[in-house]
Structure 1
Amino acid sequence: MKRLLLAVFALLTVAGAQAQLLSWNPPFPRENDNSQSLVITVDATKGNQGLLNYTPNSDVYVHIGVITSASTSPSDWKYTKFTWGTTNAAANAPYVSANKWQYTITGSLRTFFGITNASETIQKIAILFRNGAGSRVQRNTDGGDMYIPVYPTGSFQTRVDEPFRMPNYTMTAETQNWSVGTAFNVKGSASTASSMKLYHNGTQIAAATGVTTLSGNSTVAGFGVQTIVSEANNGTTSVYDTIKIFVGPASSPVAALPAGVVDGVNYTSNTTATLVLRAPNKTKATVIGDFNNWTEDLNYVMNRTPDGKFFWLNLTGLTAGTQYAFQYKVDDTIRIADPYSTMILDPWNDQFISATTYPGLKPYPTGKTTGIVGVLQTAAPTYTWNSNSYSRPDKRTLVAYELLVRDFLANPNWDKLTDTLSYFKNLGINAIEIMPFNEFEGNLSWGYNPDFYFAPDKYYGRPETLKRFIDSCHANGIAIIMDIALNHSFGLSPMVQLYWDPSNNRPAANNPWFNQTDRHPFGVGYDFNHQSPDTRYFTSRVMQYWTNEYRIDGFRFDLSKGFTQNQTNDVGSWSNYDQSRIDIWKAYYDTLNRVAPGAYSILEHFAANSEETVLANYGHLFWGNLHTQYKNSALGFANNDANLDWGLFTARGWNQPHLMTYAESHDEERLMYEMLNFGNNSQANYNVRNLNTALKRMELIGAFLFIQPGPKMFWQFGELGYDYSINYCANGTINSSCRTDAKPVRWDYNTVAERRNIYDVWAKVIKLRSHPWFRANFTSNRVFGPLTGNFRWFQITTDTSNITVVGNFDVVAQSGTVTFQNAGTWYDYLNNTTFTATGNPQTINLLPGEYRIYVNRNVNNVGTTPVSNLVTDGSRLDAGVYPNPAKGQFVVDLFLPAAAQTSFELVNGAGQVVRSLRQSFLPRGRQLITLDRPGIPAGTYYLRIAAKGGMRVLPLILQ
């Protein structure tokens, strides 16, 4: 009997010993109060429990600032005192008792924070408690910052102190596990001695005079909103404070899921929608939002399906075309947006989105809820697609331009990107691979920290502008590939938050989508379990949504090697053949082709070739990282790490050219930066570290990259010789901590002739891939040649059209022996000269960095002999022009005694420049330059050619 009484007493003690996340004394802080210290106490058993049971208990510090009248949002802290992740003694919060720490501000708040602007007033103290490293942080339950209200000097205030409030920006009530019949305490306080009263649902439950605190108690009489009010009267003025707590049934009512609905928002008419939330083993869910003024209501308690897996609710009475923000509140404590939200509102980052980029952005419901909210809209405006006859390019011949919108445009948005399509079109690419543009944490990252997979990032514009961009790309024959990170998600993901283990700061063991810990050694964020049926369903919906709603052409799947449940602890074993991973990716490929037949699946895999061979033969494309090999080739140090053979699908034993090779990507250092800083500078007259030399070597890189069969990719601005390091910082230093920082946007490079030459050369090489005579070469498996050493060459052979590429990667002149596939006349594709092949070994001499692309068919309509009959002694600049008169294009037969910047200008009889036709850096020797006739009237003109070796002026008649 004694043991039973002790047990009952213990239960009563625990029930009565309520705790509050954040408490402070005095209860009504004033900004100019010098009379006493402000003591702030945190209880880590509450909130997100970021410091629960943390040791050493002396290693706890505050991060503290203020929200003032100058702040623009709850996240706009002013006058922060200490640097995150440091252990400043002045920021230390002494240990008080189990899971409790305390921080004291002595004297005036204005003095403590150093506020001297008399017109700026303190509204709230913003505070977090953290460990010294900043890796563990005590926050509100929703992960938000904590705040303490600061009251105007001399003002008369009252506040409901119990039931406890969360110390969020608007001080909402803590979640209470109340039911009908629950007895609860109420406590109010006043800033000065007053006549005080407490009310519950309009009934007075306590009263006293001349007091600063008042307590009472009441009982929940029925389900619904419990309204609790504290009233104080100082003899002249009455003030009030109110909190509302919703009391609903302990669990959601059970009802079968309506037929035909799926996870997320289902629009059933212009005024109704059915919400479906997948939340296995949860007990109760309610919906809060604009439609019920963010107040829980019995009418918005969701139904739970008999199998306990789903919650659902029919929303009625919606206004067609109106955007409604909303959240789910699950088991009375968890507030989340719908994981399938196609638009979200972010209280921390939306404020930085330009109204020009996203006009009419719906404001966040500040003061009504916390955390990210979703948006639904019945009868939403539809986009009318124009490119309905578009068909995707053959995946084997893709040339993809990898792009990060943030670093491609000074004002990054979809409309501006649409305006650049002529740049892409002229470059000849047929695909744009865009780094993640679904919503991720923050606005300015690379996007590999995702949280919402169905919502396009608002930072780049409205959904219709994204659709217009894709539509315009399709009209120009350009496919759109979405880079997406489905290996992991980050902490703002509602699926992470719905099942969370705060004690271990990781997903809970019963999370339907995520592993508790990473299954591989390259963990980022929280690891998806792709053997879970819930994850597979979610992933299939992601693929279906983007390919159907936005008509994207496929995905580049980030970190695809992570899609495994086989635990590995080192990169080597992680890369080994994994049949379970193969099975996962075969299933996803089948799913993608079911929801979007023919859509591209590109894997960033880097696993054993035996595994990649299976999946490549199944239909997947693969990122083929040849950065190290091309880097060493570009630097001018030929070694085993410069062997380009692995860029050929035939070298890997694959059946199809499904290898998307690249020399640069967002993950790699820039080749130009490497050459300018580490290139071979052993030769006095040929230094790879020279800017113009390095730019010419980028042309050489392109010749070997783009001519090889199979899909190709290159990283933005590589075609202009972009030379800022991947680790470039805003202050001009180089540091790996700046890797994902914004990089300078240098569109002015496009006006520099030596840089534009790369664009022009690459464009011409890329366009050969689509020429009807040579298109088959780029899916051919008849590839041969030594792609090692200094003098390199390779050949592609078909039944009719053949290509031979030669190049000198050395820093001195080299000779090499090549046997062309067939005897006869061959054509230098880039220089418009001819070469007679004997069918036997022939020696080709190349200057350092020089290269040739020979084709056996006259694709440029080059004459077999120069019509200009140019005769040169080799010591000076000489030139001829033909045909003359010219109706369309004309050819300059040019000899340069030395490599030089060369200009071609059309001049009238008065010596005035009519048009600049070309400026480019040209190699030494004889070459044929094809120029387009400018759109000017017929007449007699003069072609003025100027270079370091002299000048020539040639009469030219345009008909």
Structure 2
Amino acid sequence: MKKLFYCLLGASLIIASCKKSGTFPEPEPLPITPPIPSPTTYSLPAGAKDGVAFINGGTTAIVTLFAPSKSSVYLIGDFNDWQTLPTHQMKLAPDGNTWWIQIDNLNPNTEYAYQFLVDAGLKVADPYCEKVLDPNNDSYISTVTYPNLKAYPTGKTTGIVSVMQANQPVYSWKNGNFTRPVKDNLVVYELLIRDFTTEHNYTSTLQKLDYLVSLGINAIELMPVTEFEGNLSWGYNVSYYFAPDKYYGTKTALQNFIDECHGRGIAVIMDMVFNHSFGQSPMVQLYFDGTKPTTNSPWFNPDAKHPYNVGYDFNHESPATKYFVKAAIKHWMQQYKVDGFRFDLSKGFTQNFSNADGAFAAYDASRVAIWKEYNSYIKSIDPNNFYVILEHFADASEEKVLAEDGMMLWNNINYNMNEATMGWIPTSDFSWGFFNKHNFAKSENLINYMESHDEERLTFKNVSYGNASGGYVIKDLTTALKRDEMAAAFLFAIPGPKMIWQFGELGYDYSIDYNGRTGDKPIKWDYYNDSRRKALYDAYSKFIKLKKNNSIFSSPTYTYSTTGGIKYIKLTNGTNTVVVIGNFDVTSQTASIDFGASGTWIDATGGSNINLGSTTFGATLAPGEYHIYSKQALN
């Protein structure tokens, strides 16, 4: 069963269509005439921090760069007309690793672009900066999405530059009393801003919040919004970990988005990418031999330690990497008030080299220790039900240990659920969705999904490959959508948190490979006006609200059968029992299920109630027919 997951590649493994890292511009002629003076060594001034710290009312900046083993570093920028002046050669702190300089006479209200010139030939931006200017991609960002964007210093320098400003716009938070949904009741909507609205920004996404509130979800998981290479990306080619990508909007627009979601009862989870980075990253460029990271890189392995890596592989046993990751985590938690992180390719946080699927997935004590350390750090910042979600897909024994530490594990049941919706019964057993199959103690640690950004869309496969018998044809769109509805009834009846992929609730049926796997996809809000698709949306909304409003759907007491054409889930909580039953075959099938009690059973789907003369439900169900029966009325 687990082998199914190993072919999924994970979010980061599909970035092959993104720009390949390591293709840097040729170094310019040395702008400094040797010999370069040896750096002076001075203690860091009070108030210094990673990146830029402003003092003296914002008129002075202390700028630092962590760059061990370098010979010289100059700070160049707007404040010195991009010249390598002796007064802007950076000092070396006593640790021998940290370079720093103090810049005076700044205007606190002015944005200053800057770079580091390292060892007389390499220009890099600040790894800790919160904003960058990109000469190749910023021109494609609309002024509506990012108004008054500072112009790139064309003719002064090349490459990406950082931006600093003492008196940045400050967002005033309105919703300070948001209470996060309990994990077991979490219904996450995974969302790629690029493909959600035509304006592809935070403001336009907010305008669809009523749609999401009506659907009933209580969390949004944003695919990566930290600064990535290019504009049209899934975001897994991250290069600057403290800067929100400008293609989606400003820093304050993102803060406002999170704040407004909180005001509507919706948590916001960020997709974070710390398995790897790409060639645009200054941390990669600082220690790079033209092909791969050098052996003295504080952060990266010269060669990846696992078979699914893309970009350049972080070494999470390195103290420098741990320090950087924790700093980025703290930044987003405190500056943006996010409610959780989904960590991409978390299984890749290993230094135990393996080129084999099985060895890579096997229990890894070092990887467990790394994740426990990060989880503990997150709890130390915010112990209030902060969500730590791992895209792990490792050995069940390893996932069990991580779950016991409070982390949540992505659980992909796409393949078997889609086999069920297509009517291919022998491969349709989706029992992997139940937490007991993983030996977890709690359902809250297993987050199930039928679709994600990484999986083929249910409806596309239904209409492309669906089974048929006589006049019952799953390739027919109306039938295909009803099959999705039945699958959703089962998904939300499985105890534990859930995730749905954007527009899955409308039966989105463009293939994941349309316009290339990571290419932009058609934005089909017109689907909502199709009565058949709107019926699927309404069914999703009903199932989500049943789950959220009735504790029985989180009950640890259940039985199920998901192997045959007739599938059922039976949940018991106190005096109530709920049975979800459906026929996934393409021909009529007769059910015989012990409901546990005779008498009247209420059909929560709006169908007719039934009256059992015994405890056994015995009836013939048409193909695609399903019911949610409850002994007592549900909220």
Describe how 1:283-362 pairs up with structure 2 within 5 A: 283-362=71-150
Query: Is the Cα–Cα contact under 8 Å of residues 823 and 837 in structure 1 kept in the other structure?
Result: yes
* Residue in 2 that maps onto 1:799: 574
Query: Is the Cα–Cα contact under 8 Å of residues 282 and 308 in structure 1 kept in the other structure?
Result: no
Residue 400 of structure 2 corresponds to residue 613 of structure 1 = yes
Following the alignment from structure 1 to structure 2, what is the Cα–Cα distance between the partners of residues 551 and 434? 14
Please report how far the alpha carbon of residue 798 of structure 1 lies from its aligned counterpart in structure 2 after TM superposition: 1.3
Q: Which AA in structure 2 matches 1:288?
A: I
* Residue in 2 that maps onto 1:706: 492
Please report how far the alpha carbon of residue 549 of structure 1 lies from its aligned counterpart in structure 2 after TM superposition: 0.5
Residue 50 of structure 2 corresponds to residue 263 of structure 1 = yes
Residue 633 of structure 2 corresponds to residue 853 of structure 1 = no
Pair member with larger Rg: 1
Following the alignment from structure 2 to structure 1, what is the Cα–Cα distance between the partners of residues 22 and 252? 40
Runs (5+) with no aligned partner, structure 2: 1-19
Following the alignment from structure 2 to structure 1, what is the Cα–Cα distance between the partners of residues 476 and 287? 56
* Residue in 1 that maps onto 2:559: 784
* Residue in 2 that maps onto 1:119: none
TM-score (norm 2): 0.94
Query: Is the Cα–Cα contact under 8 Å of residues 626 and 647 in structure 1 kept in the other structure?
Result: yes
Q: Relative to 1, partners in 2 of residues 1:448 and 1:138: Cα closer, same or farther, differing over 3 Å?
A: closer
Following the alignment from structure 1 to structure 2, what is the Cα–Cα distance between the partners of residues 310 and 710? 46
Pick the aligned partner of 2:370 from 561, 573, 584.
Answer: 584
Pick the aligned partner of 1:825 from 588, 592, 600.
Answer: 600
User: Once the two structures are superposed, what CA deviation does each residue of 1:190-220 show, in whole Å capped at 9, x if it has no partner?
Assistant: xxxxxxxxxxxxxxxxxxxxxxxxxxxxxxx
User: Once the two structures are superposed, what CA deviation does each residue of 1:379-414 show, in whole Å capped at 9, x if it has no partner?
Assistant: 212101111110111122211111111111111110
* Residue in 2 that maps onto 1:769: 547
User: Once the two structures are superposed, what CA deviation does each residue of 1:884-934 show, in whole Å capped at 9, x if it has no partner?
Assistant: xxxxxxxxxxxxxxxxxxxxxxxxxxxxxxxxxxxxxxxxxxxxxxxxxxx
User: Once the two structures are superposed, what CA deviation does each residue of 1:462-485 show, in whole Å capped at 9, x if it has no partner?
Assistant: 111111111111011111111121
Residue 419 of structure 2 corresponds to residue 632 of structure 1 = yes
Describe how 1:460-479 pairs up with structure 2 within 5 A: 460-479=248-267
Q: Which AA in structure 2 matches 1:178?
A: P
Residue 383 of structure 2 corresponds to residue 601 of structure 1 = no
Following the alignment from structure 1 to structure 2, what is the Cα–Cα distance between the partners of residues 855 and 347? 61
Query: Is the Cα–Cα contact under 8 Å of residues 23 and 279 in structure 2 kept in the other structure?
Result: no
Following the alignment from structure 1 to structure 2, what is the Cα–Cα distance between the partners of residues 704 and 520? 35
* Residue in 2 that maps onto 1:397: 185
Q: Which AA in structure 1 matches 2:602?
A: Y
Q: Which AA in structure 1 matches 2:278?
A: F
Please report how far the alpha carbon of residue 781 of structure 1 lies from its aligned counterpart in structure 2 after TM superposition: 1.6
Q: Secondary structure at the match of 2:352?
A: coil
Q: Secondary structure at the match of 2:228?
A: coil
Q: Which AA in structure 2 matches 1:432?
A: I
Q: Secondary structure at the match of 2:238?
A: coil
Pick the aligned partner of 1:673 from 444, 460, 470.
Answer: 460
Q: Relative to 1, partners in 2 of residues 1:280 and 1:839: Cα closer, same or farther, differing over 3 Å?
A: farther
Residue 158 of structure 2 corresponds to residue 370 of structure 1 = yes
Number of residue-to-residue matches in the alignment:
613
* Residue in 2 that maps onto 1:842: 617
Pick the aligned partner of 1:760 from 538, 549, 564.
Answer: 538
Q: Which AA in structure 1 matches 2:478?
A: N
Following the alignment from structure 2 to structure 1, what is the Cα–Cα distance between the partners of residues 580 and 371? 36
Please report how far the alpha carbon of residue 855 of structure 1 lies from its aligned counterpart in structure 2 after TM superposition: 2.0
Describe how 1:456-605 pairs up with structure 2 within 5 A: 456-502=244-290, 505-597=291-383, 598-605=385-392
Larger displacement relative to structure 2 (425-434 or 591-600)? 591-600
Q: Secondary structure at the match of 1:739?
A: coil
Q: Relative to 1, partners in 2 of residues 1:137 and 1:802: Cα closer, same or farther, differing over 3 Å?
A: closer
Higher share in helix: 2
Q: Secondary structure at the match of 2:226?
A: coil
Query: Is the Cα–Cα contact under 8 Å of residues 59 and 106 in structure 2 kept in the other structure?
Result: yes
Pick the aligned partner of 2:65 from 263, 277, 281.
Answer: 277
Q: Which AA in structure 1 matches 2:409?
A: F
User: Once the two structures are superposed, what CA deviation does each residue of 1:236-271 show, in whole Å capped at 9, x if it has no partner?
Assistant: xxxxxxxxxxxx51x321011234533111222322
Following the alignment from structure 2 to structure 1, what is the Cα–Cα distance between the partners of residues 446 and 531? 33
Please report how far the alpha carbon of residue 748 of structure 1 lies from its aligned counterpart in structure 2 after TM superposition: 0.3
Following the alignment from structure 2 to structure 1, what is the Cα–Cα distance between the partners of residues 461 and 283? 42
TM-score (norm 1): 0.63
Q: Relative to 1, partners in 2 of residues 1:340 and 1:839: Cα closer, same or farther, differing over 3 Å?
A: farther
Q: Secondary structure at the match of 1:454?
A: strand
Please report how far the alpha carbon of residue 780 of structure 1 lies from its aligned counterpart in structure 2 after TM superposition: 2.4
Query: Is the Cα–Cα contact under 8 Å of residues 599 and 611 in structure 2 kept in the other structure?
Result: yes
Describe how 1:610-759 pairs up with structure 2 within 5 A: 610-639=397-426, 641-657=427-443, 658-681=445-468, 683-729=469-515, 738-759=516-537
Following the alignment from structure 1 to structure 2, what is the Cα–Cα distance between the partners of residues 266 and 363? 23
Following the alignment from structure 1 to structure 2, what is the Cα–Cα distance between the partners of residues 821 and 400? 33
Following the alignment from structure 2 to structure 1, what is the Cα–Cα distance between the partners of residues 540 and 62? 52
Following the alignment from structure 2 to structure 1, what is the Cα–Cα distance between the partners of residues 287 and 313? 13
Following the alignment from structure 1 to structure 2, what is the Cα–Cα distance between the partners of residues 495 and 463? 23
Q: Secondary structure at the match of 2:75?
A: strand
Following the alignment from structure 1 to structure 2, what is the Cα–Cα distance between the partners of residues 637 and 546? 44
Q: Secondary structure at the match of 1:561?
A: helix
Q: Secondary structure at the match of 1:723?
A: coil
* Residue in 2 that maps onto 1:889: none
Q: Secondary structure at the match of 1:769?
A: helix
Following the alignment from structure 1 to structure 2, what is the Cα–Cα distance between the partners of residues 822 and 380? 65
Following the alignment from structure 2 to structure 1, what is the Cα–Cα distance between the partners of residues 147 and 218? 31
Query: Is the Cα–Cα contact under 8 Å of residues 337 and 373 in structure 1 kept in the other structure?
Result: yes
List, as ranges, runs of 4+ consecutive aligned residues in structure 1 with deviation greater than 6 Å.
134-138
* Residue in 2 that maps onto 1:445: 233
Query: Is the Cα–Cα contact under 8 Å of residues 548 and 596 in structure 1 kept in the other structure?
Result: no
Following the alignment from structure 2 to structure 1, what is the Cα–Cα distance between the partners of residues 112 and 576? 60
Q: Secondary structure at the match of 1:519?
A: coil
Pick the aligned partner of 2:222 from 423, 434, 445.
Answer: 434
Q: Relative to 1, partners in 2 of residues 1:589 and 1:839: Cα closer, same or farther, differing over 3 Å?
A: farther
Following the alignment from structure 1 to structure 2, what is the Cα–Cα distance between the partners of residues 449 and 395? 29
Please report how far the alpha carbon of residue 564 of structure 1 lies from its aligned counterpart in structure 2 after TM superposition: 0.2
Q: Relative to 1, partners in 2 of residues 1:838 and 1:277: Cα closer, same or farther, differing over 3 Å?
A: farther
Larger displacement relative to structure 2 (392-401 or 718-727)? 392-401
Query: Is the Cα–Cα contact under 8 Å of residues 321 and 381 in structure 1 kept in the other structure?
Result: no
Following the alignment from structure 2 to structure 1, what is the Cα–Cα distance between the partners of residues 109 and 625? 62
* Residue in 2 that maps onto 1:941: none
User: Once the two structures are superposed, what CA deviation does each residue of 1:573-623 show, in whole Å capped at 9, x if it has no partner?
Assistant: 101111111011111101111123232111111111011011011111111
Q: Relative to 1, partners in 2 of residues 1:322 and 1:844: Cα closer, same or farther, differing over 3 Å?
A: farther
Following the alignment from structure 1 to structure 2, what is the Cα–Cα distance between the partners of residues 501 and 174? 18
Query: Is the Cα–Cα contact under 8 Å of residues 818 and 844 in structure 1 kept in the other structure?
Result: no
Q: Secondary structure at the match of 2:68?
A: coil
Identity percentage of aligned residues: 46
Runs (5+) with no aligned partner, structure 1: 1-133, 142-165, 167-172, 180-247, 730-737, 861-959
Following the alignment from structure 1 to structure 2, what is the Cα–Cα distance between the partners of residues 813 and 265? 69
Please report how far the alpha carbon of residue 787 of structure 1 lies from its aligned counterpart in structure 2 after TM superposition: 1.5
Higher share in strand: 1
Q: Relative to 1, partners in 2 of residues 1:472 and 1:377: Cα closer, same or farther, differing over 3 Å?
A: same
The alignment yields a C-alpha RMSD, in angstroms, of 1.6
Q: Secondary structure at the match of 2:416?
A: helix
Q: Relative to 1, partners in 2 of residues 1:138 and 1:404: Cα closer, same or farther, differing over 3 Å?
A: closer
Describe how 1:2-151 pairs up with structure 2 within 5 A: 139-141=25-27
Q: Relative to 1, partners in 2 of residues 1:138 and 1:610: Cα closer, same or farther, differing over 3 Å?
A: closer
Please report how far the alpha carbon of residue 275 of structure 1 lies from its aligned counterpart in structure 2 after TM superposition: 1.2
Q: Which has the higher contact order (CA 8 A, sep 6+)?
A: 2
Q: Relative to 1, partners in 2 of residues 1:831 and 1:262: Cα closer, same or farther, differing over 3 Å?
A: same
